[in-house]
Structure 1
Amino acid sequence: MTPSLQQKVQSVLGELVGTGAETGLQVAVHQHGARVVDAVAGVADGRTGREMTPQTPVFSFSAGKLMSSLIAHLLVGTGVVGYDTPVADVWPEFGTHGKAATTLRHVLTHSAGVPAMPRGIGPADLTDWSRVCAAIADAEPRWPPGTMTGYHSYTFGFVVGEIARRATGKPMRQLLHEWVAAPLGIEGELYFGVPPADLARLARLEDAPTQPAAPPDVDAVLAPWERQPTAAMGNSHEILQADIPSVGTFTARGIAAMNAALIEGRLIGPHQLAEVTAVAFEGTDQVFGNNARLALGYPLGRIGARPDDSPTTFGWVGGGGSYVYADTATGISFAMTKTRLTPHFTAAQRLADLTTAEIGTHA
């Protein structure tokens, strides 16, 4: 451990819980192969008072996309597909309505043109893999693939997952276990689809007391449920047990260990890592309107920092306030999970800034 950073992170977590801003949190940080922070505070379940522990998995919404992106890179590493392989080569049905030229690279840069779930698909349908994939395959792209980018909220994981399933014959939950969790010794800490026997171990999410409902927006690309996470969705046993690889359940220490292994070269080679983390697409996000700078499967830059200040950092935020990132220059792998769903990332930015200030200048 690095006592100063461990103690400072623990102090911040204690303050956040003590003031009532948060109810339960985990933070884990690795640097250059060593875990330097492993801190928790608060409760995993506000109803029972069960304490948060480092081993408590937390459903953390889109921060789970990091796991899907890694599966895509490992798939490329096997040689069965490449980044520029057309999706329709392995999933022929996907090639309809102008999507024939869509490649895995387009999917990873959110430029495939299918950011929103097709009409008729709602949260309850996410547990039906075949139905969702059939609907996405039949969808018309909003723009020619590869020409623009826009956040693919739930479609991202299903497209990556169906490519992987068609290429390997295995679902994403199995690939995550066999290719990542088991080799790294972190079984029980990363899930697409939680086994029934493990449901009791999970944290229970809660909505922030003052969280406003998503305002109606007839011009919004994403449906309200795709834009604003809810505790009811994250606590649903049906959702938790389903393979929905745009979201995920994990511990902070598990996903930090995963990203540490990635940037240390224990999962893919240095040449592939360089390609994975380079700028692959930059432009205006057609869903949210912000400028997006994307690597293959990840936004570039640290939360709250200018992209030019953290060009070697990549990761994902999760709706509700979770955050996971890694930095190839400093060797930092950071993860924060939490139980209260907030409409902001104040805690994540504060803890990421603290980590950077303490160890982020030491490459």
Structure 2
Amino acid sequence: MTDVQEIVAEKAAELVRSGGERGLQVAAYLDGRPVVDVAAGVADPATGRPVEPGTLFSNWSIGKGATATLVHRLVDDGTLTDDTRVAEVWPEFAAHGKDAVTVRQALDHSAGVPSLPAGVTVDDVCDWSRMVAALEQAEPWWEPGTAVGYHAYTFGFLNGEIARRASGRELADLLGDLTTAIGFPGEIRFGTADTAALAVLEDAPMPGTGDFTLSEDMLRAVPLALLPTAALGADPRILAADIPAWATVSARALARMYAGWLDGTVVSRDRAPAAYTESSSGTDRVYGNPSRWGLGFGLGLPWDQEGAPRVFGMAGAGGSWAGADPDRGVAVAVTRNVMSRDFETVRVLVTAVLDAVR
């Protein structure tokens, strides 16, 4: 194996020098051993504060992987099963024909409840009880289990409430157990009041949008006021709230979490195939793209679903990604503070890791 740390560090530095990136982290594990821990650029251009390995980045849906992991750990310990009906632990969820929805369907985006209520506000999504009530009153878009559609915000509240009800504990406590188990306590968080040390997000210049429009279904799932932007990611209400469809994270903590999926330290080795075995697939009913899901994780690399079919992980709006390749024994995470629409930075850095360890 070539010196993957040196290769990735140089590529990260090039991206920052080019002006395309402001600050980023890359971390990777091979067979449970750390092989990359790179921090490059600045976390806050106003002060020049550098990115450190423990700097936390608000990288949106990249945090869904942690939420899914909390549910899997409850399946692993026998508290839940994949086929437990959500209504068994959360009776109010059964309203409007949702009584047969299972934990499996909540995890693989086939539950049929991807939309937020009409007129939802930032304050609404920051209020756990309101979002739980909204899910209880939601009517499925399709018969659960018969189609797939990305549950952009609702994935977190749905699976988060399942975990709360089944365990009898708060999400912060379950997440605290997880981050302690991986050796990076506090480096994956949902709500956080400690915002001064976070990386400062900024929106990348957007190219011409051409004919790009948001469909009615997309806007039902993510209204304009809740589209991921640097301003929304800096909103103190958002940062302080438990919104487990996203998280503030360090790359090293997420990479270690995914490594724990492969080495049996986060979930059992018997549980791991649930993450990378296809559970749902088809044309996404919300976004219209081809999609493939294990239980809680997207399958394939963001730029190549077919070439790496057993890679599992989660991407974040703005172009971050974390996941693992069970065939190579590699776990990788990339965080960024420049929010763009593409995954070119992730492609460059993750490919460098995979090529070096191949």
TM bucket, shorter chain? over 0.9
Aligned residue identity for 1:99: K
Relative to structure 1, is the Cα distance of residues 132 and 100 closer, same or farther in structure 2, using a 3 angstrom cutoff?
same
User: Match of 1:134?
Assistant: 133
Query: For residue 349 of structure 1, what is the aligned residue in structure 2?
Result: 347
How far, CA to CA, are the matches of 1:331 and 1:340 in structure 2?
Answer: 29
- Inter-CA distance 297–216: structure 2 relative to 1 (3 Å threshold): closer
Give the alignment's Cα RMSD to 1 decimal.
1.7
Helix, strand or coil: the match of 2:29?
Answer: strand
Report the equivalent of 1:77: 76
* SS, match of residue 303 in structure 2: coil
Q: Find the aligned partners of 1:169 and 1:42 in 2 and give their Cα distance.
A: 42
- Is 1:282 matched with 2:278? no
C-alpha distance in 2, partners of 1:143/1:119? 18
In the aligned structure 1, how far is the partner of 2:46 from the partner of 2:6? 28
Is the CA contact (8 Å cut-off) linking 1:228 and 1:319 kept in structure 2? no
- Look up the equivalent residue of 2:254 and give its one-letter code: I
CA distance in 2 between counterparts of 1:121 and 1:167 reads 27
* Counterpart residue type for residue 142 of structure 1: W
1: CA distance between counterparts of 2:269 and 2:214?
46
Hey, what does 2:338 align to over in structure 1? 340
| Offset at residue 44 of structure 1 (A) | 0.3
In structure 2, distance between residues paired with 1:238 and 1:283: 35
* 2:322 aligned residue: 324
- 232-241 or 311-320, which moves further after superposition? 232-241
- The equivalent of 2:19 in structure 1 is 20
Can you give the 5+ residue segments of structure 2 that lack an aligned partner in the other structure?
A: none
Q: Work out the CA distance in 1 between the residues paired with 2:144 and 2:117.
A: 17
Q: Give the aligned residue type for 1:207.
A: D
Does structure 1 conserve the Cα–Cα contact (< 8 Å) formed by 2:299 and 2:305? no
* 2: CA distance, partners of 1:211 / 1:174: 42
Unpaired stretches in structure 1, ≥5 consecutive residues: none
C-alpha separation between the residues in 2 aligned to 1:121 and 1:333? 36
Are the aligned partners of 1:59 and 1:203 in contact in 2 as well (CA < 8 Å)?
yes
SS across alignment from 2:298: coil
Deviation at 1:311, TM superposition (A): 2.2
Aligned residue for 2:215?
217
Separation (CA, whole Å) in 1 of partners of 2:187 and 2:316: 17
Distance in 1 between the 2:339 and 2:63 partners? Answer: 15
Runs of 4+ in 1 over 6 A off after TM superposition: 211-214
Question: How far apart in 1 are the matches of 2:197 and 2:216?
Answer: 40
TM-score for the superposition, normalised by structure 2: 0.95
Q: Secondary structure at the match of 1:270?
A: coil
Aligned to 1:116: 115
- Determine helix, strand or coil for the equivalent of 2:3: helix
Q: In structure 1, how many angstroms separate the alpha carbons of the residues matched to 2:18 and 2:32?
A: 34
Residue 295 in 1 paired to residue 294 in 2? yes
**Alpha-carbon distance, 1:329 to partner:** 1.3
| Aligned mates of 1:88, 1:230 — CA distance in 2 | 34
Residues 1:51 and 2:47 are matched in the alignment: no
**Matched residue SS, 2:191:** coil
Equivalent positions of 1:1-363 (< 5 A) are: 4-178=3-177, 180-194=178-192, 196=193, 198-210=194-206, 215-220=213-218, 221-225=220-224, 228-307=227-306, 309-359=307-357, 361=358
User: In percent, how many aligned pairs have the same letter?
Assistant: 42
Q: Matched residue of 2:270: which SS?
A: helix
- The number of residues matched between the two structures is 355
Provide the secondary structure at the position in 2 that maps to 1:55: coil
Mapped contact 1:164–1:172 kept (Cα < 8 A): yes
Where 1:325 maps in the other structure, the secondary structure is strand
Quickly say closer, same or farther: Cα 1:66–1:83, change in 2 above 3 A: same
Q: For 1:345, give the aligned amino acid.
A: F
AA partner of residue 199 (structure 2): A
What is the TM-score when the length of structure 1 is the normalising length?
Answer: 0.93
Deviation at 1:212?
A: 6.8
1:265-292 deviation digits (Å, cap 9, x = unpaired):
1122222212332111121111121221
More displaced stretch, 52-61 vs 225-234: 225-234
